[in-house]
């Protein structure tokens, strides 16, 4: 199941169970019952704040739709809330950390590896890949990515070839860094710091062609 739609699946199984009963085909009824049991069987484990509990498929769907940072330990994919692109653009987000290793020649080198476990102070490299899955060009493409909770954006780390990169303090209004200001309690105003950005947006300069992909990246520090 590539896209979780537990509610729609349950409705479809209700119809399938009714049709199987009317058809009086035992094998079909057994197949529907087997699929139904899958919806009522834990599909994942939730590890949060030191607690662990099983999740049904519907609960996994709700979690992925929330604004929580979700680390998929099976596929090394991280998902968090962003405006859903229901058109031609499909997004995939991956979190990695940079590690130092010794290459075949005995030289010290660095590489990116999945961020399976991070601790405060770690710098996470977030990579977002946008793919045009349609057969026609997609215009006015903008990739918007909130900085995950419990993380802070690393200044000057956002990268996207040819894209205009803008930032937001509230997640809704975006502007260039020099246009972002913070109002202090005494009424004064100051330039916003990079670690105060709550979201990043990459505005692509041209339409994306069919099957074309675009990769953008930024870094954030774990609090």
* DSSP letter, residue 157: -
Report the distance separating Cα 154 and Cα 126, nearest Å.
Answer: 11
The per-residue pLDDT for 64 is 63
Domain end residue (candidates: 9, 31, 65) = 65
- Weakly modelled stretches of the chain, pLDDT under 70: 1-6, 38-39, 42-52, 63-86
Judgement on whether residues 59 and 124 belong to the same structural domain of the protein: no
Closest by CA position to 61, among listed 43, 38, 40: 43
Torsion of CA 106, 112, 113, 118, to 10 degrees: 110
Judgement on whether residues 61 and 74 belong to the same structural domain of the protein: no
Judgement on whether residues 10 and 117 belong to the same structural domain of the protein: no
The per-residue pLDDT for 32 is 72
Q: How far is CA 90 from the centre of its chain?
A: 11
The per-residue pLDDT for 165 is 97
The domain containing residue 183 runs over which residues?
Answer: 70-222
pTM, two decimals, is 0.62
Tell me if 146 sits within 8 A of 82, measured CB to CB. yes
Report the distance separating Cα 2 and Cα 21, nearest Å.
Answer: 29
For residue 92, what are its two tokens? 């995939």
Judgement on whether residues 95 and 19 belong to the same structural domain of the protein: no
The string of pLDDT tens digits covering residues 139-156 is: 889 999 999 989 999 999
The string of pLDDT tens digits covering residues 59-106 is: 777 766 665 555 554 444 444 433 433 478 888 999 999 999 998 899
Domain end residue (candidates: 10, 35, 65) = 65
The per-residue pLDDT for 194 is 97
């Amino acid at each position: 199941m590539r896209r979780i739609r537990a509610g729609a699946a349950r409705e479809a199984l209700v119809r399938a169970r009714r049709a199987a009963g009317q058809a009086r085909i035992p094998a079909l009824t057994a197949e529907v019952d087997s699929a139904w049991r899958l919806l009522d069987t834990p599909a994942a484990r939730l590890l949060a704040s030191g607690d662990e509990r099983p999740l049904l498929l519907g609960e996994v769907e709700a979690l992925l739709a929330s604004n929580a940072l979700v680390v998929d330990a099976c596929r090394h994919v991280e998902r968090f809330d962003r405006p859903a692109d229901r058109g031609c653009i499909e997004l995939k987000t991956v979190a990695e950390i940079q590690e130092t290793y010794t290459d075949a020649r005995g030289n010290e080198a660095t590489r990116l590896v999945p961020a399976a476990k991070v601790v405060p102070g770690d710098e996470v490299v977030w990579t977002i890949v946008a793919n045009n899955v349609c057969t026609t060009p997609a215009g006015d493409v903008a990739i918007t990515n909130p900085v995950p909770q419990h993380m802070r954006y690393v200044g000057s780390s956002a990268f996207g070839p040819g894209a205009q990169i803008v930032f937001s303090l509230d997640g809704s209004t975006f502007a260039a860094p020099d246009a972002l200001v913070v109002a202090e309690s005494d009424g004064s105003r100051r330039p916003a710091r990079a670690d105060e950005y709550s979201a990043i947006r990459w505005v692509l300069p041209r339409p994306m062609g069919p099957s074309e992909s675009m990769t953008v990246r930024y870094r954030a520090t774990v609090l």
